[in-house]
Amino acid sequence: MTIDLNRARRETPGSEHVLHFNNAGSALMPQPVLDAQIDHLQLEARIGGYESAARARDGVERVYGAAAELIGAKTDEIAIIENATRAWDMAFYSIPFEPGDRILTAMAEYGSNYIAYLQIACKTGAVVEVIPNDEHGQTSVDALKEMIDERVKLISITHVPTNGGLVNPANAIGKVAREAGILYLVDACQSVGQLPVNVDKMGCDMLSTTGRKYLRGPRGTGFLYVREEVLERLEPPFLDMRAATWVDKGHYEIVGNAKRFENWETNYAAKIGLGVAIDYALEWGIENIWERVQSLSERLRGELSSIPGVTLRDLGEVRCGIVTFDVAGRDVAEIKAALEGQNINVTASRPPSTRLDMEARGIAGLVRASVHYYNSEDEVSRFCEVLEGIVA
Protein backbone atom coordinates (compact mmCIF):
# COMPACT_ATOMS: atom_id res chain seq x y z
CA MET A 1 0.00 0.00 0.00
CA THR A 2 1.19 3.50 -0.81
CA ILE A 3 -0.22 6.68 0.67
CA ASP A 4 -3.35 7.85 -1.16
CA LEU A 5 -2.83 11.59 -0.69
CA ASN A 6 -6.29 12.53 -1.93
CA ARG A 7 -7.93 10.21 0.57
CA ALA A 8 -5.63 11.33 3.39
CA ARG A 9 -6.49 14.98 2.80
CA ARG A 10 -10.18 14.26 2.28
CA GLU A 11 -10.26 12.56 5.70
CA THR A 12 -8.36 15.47 7.31
CA PRO A 13 -10.84 18.37 7.60
CA GLY A 14 -8.20 20.79 8.81
CA SER A 15 -6.19 20.50 5.60
CA GLU A 16 -8.80 22.69 3.90
CA HIS A 17 -8.11 25.55 6.31
CA VAL A 18 -4.40 25.60 7.19
CA LEU A 19 -1.02 24.55 5.90
CA HIS A 20 -0.08 22.50 8.92
CA PHE A 21 3.64 21.95 9.43
CA ASN A 22 3.30 21.53 13.19
CA ASN A 23 2.75 17.78 13.34
CA ALA A 24 5.49 17.34 15.95
CA GLY A 25 3.46 19.70 18.11
CA SER A 26 -0.07 18.45 17.49
CA ALA A 27 -1.12 16.92 14.18
CA LEU A 28 -4.43 17.53 12.44
CA MET A 29 -6.97 14.96 13.56
CA PRO A 30 -8.54 12.65 10.96
CA GLN A 31 -12.32 12.52 10.67
CA PRO A 32 -12.73 8.99 12.13
CA VAL A 33 -10.96 10.05 15.34
CA LEU A 34 -13.08 13.18 15.62
CA ASP A 35 -16.28 11.18 15.01
CA ALA A 36 -15.38 8.57 17.65
CA GLN A 37 -14.88 11.20 20.33
CA ILE A 38 -17.99 13.19 19.48
CA ASP A 39 -20.12 10.04 19.38
CA HIS A 40 -18.99 9.03 22.85
CA LEU A 41 -19.46 12.52 24.31
CA GLN A 42 -22.99 12.56 22.93
CA LEU A 43 -23.60 9.13 24.49
CA GLU A 44 -22.32 10.44 27.84
CA ALA A 45 -24.71 13.37 27.60
CA ARG A 46 -27.65 11.08 26.83
CA ILE A 47 -27.19 8.24 29.31
CA GLY A 48 -24.44 9.23 31.77
CA GLY A 49 -20.69 8.85 32.13
CA TYR A 50 -20.50 5.48 33.90
CA GLU A 51 -23.21 3.96 31.74
CA SER A 52 -21.67 5.14 28.46
CA ALA A 53 -18.25 3.80 29.49
CA ALA A 54 -19.79 0.41 30.19
CA ARG A 55 -21.63 0.39 26.87
CA ALA A 56 -18.46 1.38 24.98
CA ARG A 57 -16.28 -1.19 26.74
CA ASP A 58 -14.99 -2.78 23.52
CA GLY A 59 -13.85 0.59 22.16
CA VAL A 60 -12.27 1.51 25.48
CA GLU A 61 -10.37 -1.78 25.71
CA ARG A 62 -9.31 -1.75 22.05
CA VAL A 63 -6.75 0.98 22.74
CA TYR A 64 -4.59 -1.46 24.71
CA GLY A 65 -4.47 -3.98 21.89
CA ALA A 66 -3.92 -1.26 19.28
CA ALA A 67 -1.02 0.28 21.22
CA ALA A 68 0.55 -3.14 21.81
CA GLU A 69 0.28 -4.00 18.10
CA LEU A 70 1.79 -0.65 17.14
CA ILE A 71 5.02 -1.13 19.11
CA GLY A 72 5.29 -4.92 19.25
CA ALA A 73 4.35 -5.27 22.91
CA LYS A 74 1.94 -7.40 24.95
CA THR A 75 -1.41 -5.91 25.92
CA ASP A 76 -0.63 -6.26 29.65
CA GLU A 77 2.53 -4.16 29.13
CA ILE A 78 0.49 -1.09 28.13
CA ALA A 79 -0.86 1.66 30.39
CA ILE A 80 -3.04 4.43 28.97
CA ILE A 81 -2.13 7.72 30.61
CA GLU A 82 -3.37 11.27 30.12
CA ASN A 83 -0.25 12.53 28.35
CA ALA A 84 3.28 11.52 27.43
CA THR A 85 4.91 13.62 30.13
CA ARG A 86 2.89 11.96 32.87
CA ALA A 87 3.51 8.54 31.29
CA TRP A 88 7.27 9.21 31.30
CA ASP A 89 7.07 10.56 34.87
CA MET A 90 5.24 7.47 36.11
CA ALA A 91 8.04 5.30 34.74
CA PHE A 92 10.97 7.46 35.84
CA TYR A 93 9.72 8.21 39.35
CA SER A 94 9.04 4.51 39.97
CA ILE A 95 12.77 3.74 39.90
CA PRO A 96 14.34 3.53 43.39
CA PHE A 97 17.42 5.74 43.03
CA GLU A 98 20.12 5.81 45.70
CA PRO A 99 23.18 8.02 46.37
CA GLY A 100 25.81 7.55 43.70
CA ASP A 101 23.48 6.00 41.12
CA ARG A 102 24.26 7.32 37.65
CA ILE A 103 21.62 8.48 35.16
CA LEU A 104 22.96 8.61 31.59
CA THR A 105 21.11 10.75 29.08
CA ALA A 106 21.52 12.46 25.71
CA MET A 107 22.80 15.88 24.68
CA ALA A 108 19.49 16.60 22.98
CA GLU A 109 17.38 15.50 25.95
CA TYR A 110 14.02 17.21 26.40
CA GLY A 111 13.73 19.91 29.06
CA SER A 112 10.94 18.32 31.09
CA ASN A 113 12.88 15.07 31.38
CA TYR A 114 16.09 16.81 32.38
CA ILE A 115 14.26 18.76 35.10
CA ALA A 116 13.08 15.43 36.52
CA TYR A 117 16.66 14.09 36.50
CA LEU A 118 17.84 17.15 38.40
CA GLN A 119 15.04 16.85 40.95
CA ILE A 120 15.84 13.20 41.65
CA ALA A 121 19.55 13.99 41.82
CA CYS A 122 18.87 16.65 44.46
CA LYS A 123 16.58 14.35 46.46
CA THR A 124 18.53 11.10 46.32
CA GLY A 125 22.18 11.88 45.61
CA ALA A 126 22.05 10.26 42.17
CA VAL A 127 24.10 11.97 39.48
CA VAL A 128 23.15 12.99 35.93
CA GLU A 129 25.71 12.50 33.17
CA VAL A 130 25.41 13.34 29.50
CA ILE A 131 26.48 10.94 26.76
CA PRO A 132 28.51 12.83 24.12
CA ASN A 133 27.34 13.06 20.52
CA ASP A 134 29.06 11.33 17.63
CA GLU A 135 30.17 12.95 14.38
CA HIS A 136 26.56 12.98 13.13
CA GLY A 137 25.28 14.94 16.11
CA GLN A 138 23.42 11.96 17.58
CA THR A 139 24.02 10.08 20.82
CA SER A 140 27.32 8.22 20.53
CA VAL A 141 26.95 4.50 21.17
CA ASP A 142 30.72 4.11 21.47
CA ALA A 143 30.89 6.85 24.11
CA LEU A 144 28.01 5.20 25.97
CA LYS A 145 29.87 1.90 26.10
CA GLU A 146 32.85 3.66 27.71
CA MET A 147 30.60 5.16 30.40
CA ILE A 148 29.06 1.88 31.57
CA ASP A 149 29.92 0.66 35.05
CA GLU A 150 28.14 -0.93 38.02
CA ARG A 151 26.80 2.44 39.23
CA VAL A 152 24.74 3.17 36.12
CA LYS A 153 21.11 2.77 37.22
CA LEU A 154 19.36 4.14 34.16
CA ILE A 155 19.95 5.02 30.51
CA SER A 156 17.25 7.46 29.42
CA ILE A 157 17.07 9.11 26.02
CA THR A 158 14.65 10.89 23.74
CA HIS A 159 14.33 8.91 20.51
CA VAL A 160 13.43 11.87 18.30
CA PRO A 161 14.37 15.11 20.08
CA THR A 162 12.15 18.15 19.95
CA ASN A 163 14.44 19.97 17.52
CA GLY A 164 17.23 19.08 15.14
CA GLY A 165 15.55 16.50 12.92
CA LEU A 166 17.66 13.61 14.16
CA VAL A 167 16.63 10.08 15.07
CA ASN A 168 18.80 8.84 17.93
CA PRO A 169 20.15 5.26 17.53
CA ALA A 170 17.72 3.88 20.09
CA ASN A 171 18.08 0.23 19.05
CA ALA A 172 21.87 0.30 19.33
CA ILE A 173 21.62 2.03 22.71
CA GLY A 174 19.17 -0.65 23.84
CA LYS A 175 21.64 -3.37 22.94
CA VAL A 176 24.21 -1.76 25.25
CA ALA A 177 21.66 -1.41 28.04
CA ARG A 178 20.40 -4.98 27.73
CA GLU A 179 23.90 -6.48 27.69
CA ALA A 180 24.79 -4.52 30.83
CA GLY A 181 21.48 -5.26 32.60
CA ILE A 182 20.69 -1.55 32.97
CA LEU A 183 17.17 -0.12 32.94
CA TYR A 184 16.46 1.71 29.69
CA LEU A 185 13.75 4.38 29.35
CA VAL A 186 12.84 5.86 25.95
CA ASP A 187 10.84 9.02 25.33
CA ALA A 188 9.23 8.18 21.98
CA CYS A 189 6.89 11.14 21.97
CA GLN A 190 7.90 12.24 18.47
CA SER A 191 8.81 8.91 16.91
CA VAL A 192 5.75 6.71 17.50
CA GLY A 193 3.41 7.28 14.57
CA GLN A 194 5.98 8.63 12.12
CA LEU A 195 8.47 5.75 12.01
CA PRO A 196 8.51 2.05 12.93
CA VAL A 197 9.07 1.42 16.64
CA ASN A 198 9.43 -2.09 18.06
CA VAL A 199 10.19 -2.41 21.76
CA ASP A 200 11.86 -5.80 21.39
CA LYS A 201 14.23 -4.53 18.70
CA MET A 202 14.81 -1.38 20.73
CA GLY A 203 15.54 -3.37 23.87
CA CYS A 204 13.87 -0.80 26.09
CA ASP A 205 12.30 -1.54 29.46
CA MET A 206 9.99 1.48 29.41
CA LEU A 207 8.71 3.70 26.60
CA SER A 208 6.37 6.66 26.69
CA THR A 209 4.54 8.43 23.90
CA THR A 210 1.68 10.80 23.18
CA GLY A 211 -1.47 10.65 21.11
CA ARG A 212 -1.54 14.19 19.78
CA LYS A 213 1.59 14.25 17.62
CA TYR A 214 2.32 11.81 14.81
CA LEU A 215 -0.45 9.42 15.88
CA ARG A 216 -2.96 12.20 15.10
CA GLY A 217 -4.97 11.38 18.21
CA PRO A 218 -6.66 13.59 20.80
CA ARG A 219 -4.75 15.97 23.01
CA GLY A 220 -4.54 14.75 26.59
CA THR A 221 -3.77 11.15 25.65
CA GLY A 222 -0.67 8.99 25.78
CA PHE A 223 0.55 5.58 26.75
CA LEU A 224 3.36 3.89 28.62
CA TYR A 225 4.98 0.56 27.80
CA VAL A 226 6.66 -1.37 30.65
CA ARG A 227 8.36 -4.68 29.91
CA GLU A 228 6.78 -7.37 32.08
CA GLU A 229 10.17 -8.69 33.26
CA VAL A 230 10.96 -5.39 35.03
CA LEU A 231 7.46 -4.65 36.33
CA GLU A 232 8.06 -5.85 39.89
CA ARG A 233 11.18 -3.68 40.20
CA LEU A 234 9.12 -0.53 39.69
CA GLU A 235 6.69 0.92 42.23
CA PRO A 236 4.57 3.77 40.87
CA PRO A 237 5.03 7.10 42.68
CA PHE A 238 1.34 7.12 43.62
CA LEU A 239 -1.43 4.54 43.70
CA ASP A 240 -5.20 4.54 43.65
CA MET A 241 -7.97 1.99 43.21
CA ARG A 242 -7.11 1.52 39.54
CA ALA A 243 -3.47 0.74 40.31
CA ALA A 244 -4.00 -1.34 43.45
CA THR A 245 -6.62 -3.25 45.44
CA TRP A 246 -7.31 -2.56 49.13
CA VAL A 247 -7.40 -6.20 50.27
CA ASP A 248 -7.88 -5.68 54.02
CA LYS A 249 -7.70 -2.97 56.66
CA GLY A 250 -3.91 -2.75 56.66
CA HIS A 251 -2.88 -3.96 53.23
CA TYR A 252 -3.10 -3.31 49.52
CA GLU A 253 -1.90 -5.24 46.48
CA ILE A 254 -0.56 -3.52 43.36
CA VAL A 255 -2.07 -4.90 40.15
CA GLY A 256 0.17 -7.31 38.29
CA ASN A 257 0.39 -5.55 34.93
CA ALA A 258 1.16 -2.11 33.49
CA LYS A 259 -2.21 -0.75 34.62
CA ARG A 260 -0.48 -0.16 37.97
CA PHE A 261 0.73 3.08 36.35
CA GLU A 262 -2.79 4.29 35.51
CA ASN A 263 -5.29 6.18 37.66
CA TRP A 264 -8.97 5.51 38.06
CA GLU A 265 -10.52 8.55 36.39
CA THR A 266 -9.91 9.04 32.68
CA ASN A 267 -11.31 10.79 29.62
CA TYR A 268 -13.18 7.93 27.99
CA ALA A 269 -13.97 9.81 24.78
CA ALA A 270 -10.29 10.65 24.32
CA LYS A 271 -9.24 7.10 25.23
CA ILE A 272 -11.55 5.70 22.57
CA GLY A 273 -10.26 8.34 20.15
CA LEU A 274 -6.67 7.29 20.80
CA GLY A 275 -7.52 3.69 19.96
CA VAL A 276 -9.16 4.79 16.72
CA ALA A 277 -6.15 6.98 15.89
CA ILE A 278 -3.73 4.07 16.38
CA ASP A 279 -5.88 1.76 14.26
CA TYR A 280 -6.05 4.48 11.60
CA ALA A 281 -2.23 4.71 11.53
CA LEU A 282 -1.93 0.92 11.37
CA GLU A 283 -4.33 0.87 8.43
CA TRP A 284 -2.07 3.23 6.46
CA GLY A 285 0.99 1.26 7.52
CA ILE A 286 3.79 2.75 9.59
CA GLU A 287 6.42 1.83 6.99
CA ASN A 288 4.38 3.68 4.35
CA ILE A 289 3.97 6.68 6.64
CA TRP A 290 7.71 6.75 7.35
CA GLU A 291 8.62 6.58 3.67
CA ARG A 292 6.24 9.45 2.89
CA VAL A 293 7.41 11.59 5.83
CA GLN A 294 11.07 11.15 4.90
CA SER A 295 10.39 12.03 1.27
CA LEU A 296 8.49 15.20 2.15
CA SER A 297 11.01 16.33 4.77
CA GLU A 298 13.96 15.89 2.41
CA ARG A 299 12.09 17.82 -0.26
CA LEU A 300 11.46 20.58 2.26
CA ARG A 301 15.12 20.67 3.29
CA GLY A 302 16.15 20.89 -0.33
CA GLU A 303 13.87 23.83 -1.12
CA LEU A 304 14.71 25.66 2.12
CA SER A 305 18.43 25.39 1.45
CA SER A 306 18.06 27.60 -1.64
CA ILE A 307 16.49 30.53 0.28
CA PRO A 308 19.06 33.27 1.07
CA GLY A 309 19.57 33.77 4.81
CA VAL A 310 18.00 30.45 5.80
CA THR A 311 20.27 27.98 7.63
CA LEU A 312 19.15 24.39 8.16
CA ARG A 313 19.98 23.03 11.62
CA ASP A 314 19.10 19.36 11.36
CA LEU A 315 21.40 16.69 12.76
CA GLY A 316 21.68 12.93 12.63
CA GLU A 317 22.64 10.09 10.33
CA VAL A 318 18.91 9.40 9.97
CA ARG A 319 16.66 12.46 9.70
CA CYS A 320 12.94 12.50 10.33
CA GLY A 321 9.94 14.67 9.54
CA ILE A 322 11.11 17.51 11.80
CA VAL A 323 12.90 20.21 9.79
CA THR A 324 14.57 23.01 11.73
CA PHE A 325 16.12 26.25 10.54
CA ASP A 326 16.85 29.83 11.49
CA VAL A 327 17.01 33.04 9.48
CA ALA A 328 19.91 35.46 9.66
CA GLY A 329 19.01 38.58 11.63
CA ARG A 330 15.43 37.52 12.36
CA ASP A 331 13.89 36.26 15.59
CA VAL A 332 12.11 32.92 15.34
CA ALA A 333 8.96 34.30 16.97
CA GLU A 334 8.76 36.93 14.24
CA ILE A 335 9.04 34.27 11.54
CA LYS A 336 6.42 32.10 13.23
CA ALA A 337 3.98 35.00 13.53
CA ALA A 338 4.46 36.00 9.90
CA LEU A 339 3.76 32.43 8.76
CA GLU A 340 0.67 32.28 10.96
CA GLY A 341 -0.56 35.36 9.17
CA GLN A 342 -0.57 33.24 6.01
CA ASN A 343 -2.41 30.33 7.71
CA ILE A 344 0.81 28.32 8.02
CA ASN A 345 1.51 26.54 11.31
CA VAL A 346 5.01 25.94 12.68
CA THR A 347 6.66 25.98 16.11
CA ALA A 348 9.38 28.25 17.50
CA SER A 349 11.87 26.37 19.68
CA ARG A 350 13.97 28.04 22.39
CA PRO A 351 16.88 26.79 24.56
CA PRO A 352 14.78 25.71 27.59
CA SER A 353 13.33 22.86 25.53
CA THR A 354 16.76 21.35 24.73
CA ARG A 355 19.24 23.57 26.54
CA LEU A 356 22.33 21.36 26.29
CA ASP A 357 21.98 20.90 22.55
CA MET A 358 21.12 24.48 21.64
CA GLU A 359 23.74 26.07 23.88
CA ALA A 360 26.43 23.71 22.56
CA ARG A 361 25.54 24.77 19.02
CA GLY A 362 25.17 28.45 19.88
CA ILE A 363 21.55 28.58 18.73
CA ALA A 364 19.18 31.12 20.28
CA GLY A 365 16.07 29.83 18.55
CA LEU A 366 14.82 27.58 15.77
CA VAL A 367 11.79 27.45 13.53
CA ARG A 368 10.49 23.88 13.52
CA ALA A 369 8.48 22.74 10.51
CA SER A 370 7.25 19.16 10.87
CA VAL A 371 5.53 17.34 8.02
CA HIS A 372 3.21 14.34 7.93
CA TYR A 373 1.92 11.99 5.27
CA TYR A 374 -1.21 14.06 4.57
CA ASN A 375 0.87 17.11 3.68
CA SER A 376 1.44 17.65 -0.04
CA GLU A 377 4.34 18.55 -2.27
CA ASP A 378 2.42 21.70 -3.24
CA GLU A 379 2.34 22.68 0.43
CA VAL A 380 6.12 22.30 0.64
CA SER A 381 6.55 24.65 -2.32
CA ARG A 382 4.01 27.16 -1.00
CA PHE A 383 5.68 27.13 2.42
CA CYS A 384 9.06 27.96 0.91
CA GLU A 385 7.61 30.64 -1.38
CA VAL A 386 5.89 32.36 1.54
CA LEU A 387 8.99 32.10 3.73
CA GLU A 388 11.17 33.55 0.99
CA GLY A 389 8.83 36.52 0.76
CA ILE A 390 8.97 37.00 4.54
CA VAL A 391 12.76 36.96 4.76
CA ALA A 392 13.46 38.96 1.60
d(CA 188, CA 1): 25
pLDDT tens, residue by residue, 228-277: 999 999 999 999 999 999 999 999 999 999 999 999 999 999 999 999 99
d(CA 117, CA 188): 17
* Structural domain for 94, as ranges: 32-283
Q: Both 221 and 298 in a single domain?
A: no
Specify the pLDDT at position 87: 97
Q: Both 66 and 177 in a single domain?
A: yes
Instruction: Indicate the residue among 234, 263, 283 that finishes a domain.
Output: 283
Specify the pLDDT at position 22: 98
Q: Both 257 and 360 in a single domain?
A: no
Q: Both 24 and 131 in a single domain?
A: no
Q: Both 263 and 116 in a single domain?
A: yes
Q: Both 228 and 369 in a single domain?
A: no
Specify the pLDDT at position 373: 98
Q: What is the CATH number of the domain that holds 264?
A: 3.40.640.10
Q: What is the CATH number of the domain that holds 382?
A: 3.90.1150.10
pTM higher than 0.85 for the full model? Answer: yes
d(CA 112, CA 126): 18
Specify the length of the chain in residues: 392
pLDDT tens, residue by residue, 291-327: 999 999 999 999 999 999 999 999 999 999 999 999 9
**Average pLDDT score over the chain:** 97
Q: Both 209 and 339 in a single domain?
A: no
Please check the confidence at residue 51 and state whether its pLDDT lies above 70.
Answer: yes
Specify the pLDDT at position 1: 62
Q: Both 166 and 294 in a single domain?
A: no
Instruction: Indicate the residue among 253, 283, 313 that finishes a domain.
Output: 283
Tell me which residue of 138, 182, 135 sits closest to 160, measured CA to CA.
138
Instruction: Indicate the residue among 267, 283, 299 that finishes a domain.
Output: 283
Number of structural domains, the chain? 2
Q: Both 55 and 168 in a single domain?
A: yes
d(CA 269, CA 181): 39
d(CA 118, CA 121): 5
pLDDT tens, residue by residue, 338-367: 999 999 999 999 999 999 999 999 999 999
Q: Both 17 and 41 in a single domain?
A: no
Specify the pLDDT at position 164: 86
Tell me which residue of 60, 111, 85 sits closest to 224, measured CA to CA.
85
Q: Both 42 and 185 in a single domain?
A: yes
Q: Both 110 and 129 in a single domain?
A: yes
